[in-house]
Amino acid sequence: MRYFGSCRIQEGDQLLKYFDSVAASRSDELQVLKLERKEQIHKRLRALGWENRYLDCPGNSEQFKKQWSSLVEVAKPLTERIWTNLLPKLTRLLEENRGQVEIYEQEQRQYERQRKVEELLGEFARVSNPYQSIIDT
């Protein structure tokens, strides 16, 4: 009786390993499909004149990211029919979000300028000694 119990455990372990490998394989396939679809959509949008800064901007709102993801990051191949239905939705989203992207980029440029000025002032303070003229005399 013990022999049959250990056989069942071994077979159960083998089945679990098999199911895990099948699930992992399927998950990988879905990720590849999502990536291919995303790349195709980006390529088509760039061909229509949209710049990458509008497609992958870290300054995009959470609402935009959620809507964008629901349209773009889907594990289905991009057919002409799907593209025809998808384009107006994507265009509307991109148009609505364009202002947000430009505001984000403006804030980033302003931050970089401010950081550079602070860096230069810090360097100037380290290099120039206010008491140097007294020391020289």
Please state the domain extents for the chain.
Answer: 2-98
CA–CA dist 34, 43 (Å, integer): 14
**Crossing angle for the helix pair 2-47 and 80-127, nearest 10 degrees?**
80
Q: What is the pLDDT of residues 10-35, one digit of tens each?
A: 777 777 776 676 666 678 889 999 99
Contacts of residue 33, Cβ cutoff 8 Å, sequence gap at least 6: 75, 76, 77
User: What token pair was written down for 42?
Assistant: 């980006």
Which residues does 86 contact at the CB level (< 8 Å), separation at least 6?
41, 71, 78
Q: With 0.75 as the threshold, say if the pTM is over it.
A: no
Each residue of 43-69: pLDDT tens digit? 999 999 999 888 876 666 788 888 888
Distance CA 36, CA 74 (A): 10
